[in-house]
Amino acid sequence: MQDEYEWLWLYAAVEPTTGTGIFLLLPTLEGQCLQLFLRHLRHELGKGPIGVVLDSSGSHRSGEVRWPRGMHPLYLPPYSPELNPAEQVFRHIRKHLSNTVFTTLDELQSALIDELQQFWEHPTVLLQLTGYPWWVETVNSNISSHS
């Protein structure tokens, strides 16, 4: 019997001043899945400008992605994941789920949702993980200048 691997990708966005976390589990990292996540993000956050911090992954720069109106990509320099606050979410989840074998994608999905549940119930946890001062100050100053 040969092992087969299946994948599930967690897309994550964090609002830096409120701790609101928006997550979506999707089957690939292709541009069409990013497009789906961006539409979900727009729906969840409503109208108004949204800057989305992204690394330089090829899927993030895919020509397949059509950005919803009012949403703008903010690309980080290459090889600098430490600058992306959302990476702290992934680091936190890895601490709890690494070295675990899931026999089905449903098991993995359930474990991920259990880990994400704390962020929905306690946004301050997400704020502590992702509240980089430069990010919060920039968002607050942009909100003030548009008021």
Q: 35-51, pLDDT tens digit by residue? A: 999 999 999 988 888 88
Contact 19, 124 (CB under 8 A): yes
Asked if residue 142 belongs to a domain, the reply is no
Q: In this prediction, what percent of the chain has a pLDDT beyond 90?
A: 34
Asked if residue 2 belongs to a domain, the reply is no
Asked if residue 129 belongs to a domain, the reply is yes
Euclidean distance between CA atoms 35 and 62, whole angstroms:
10
Asked if residue 96 belongs to a domain, the reply is yes
> What confidence tens digit (pLDDT) does each residue in 61-105 have?
667 788 899 998 888 888 888 888 888 899 999 999 999 989 899
pLDDT classification of 146: cutoffs 50, 70, 90: low
Domain count, the chain: 1
Mean pLDDT (the chain, rounded): 86
What range defines the domain where residue 15 resides?
9-106+115-133
What residues pair up with 13 in beta bridges, in sequence order?
Answer: 22
Asked if residue 87 belongs to a domain, the reply is yes
Tokens read off for 77: 């320099």
Asked if residue 21 belongs to a domain, the reply is yes
Contact 49, 72 (CB under 8 A): yes
**CATH number for 84:** 3.30.420.10
pLDDT classification of 1: cutoffs 50, 70, 90: low
Asked if residue 100 belongs to a domain, the reply is yes
pLDDT for position 59: 64
Asked if residue 4 belongs to a domain, the reply is no
Strand (E) positions, 2-94? 9-14, 21-26, 50-54, 71-75
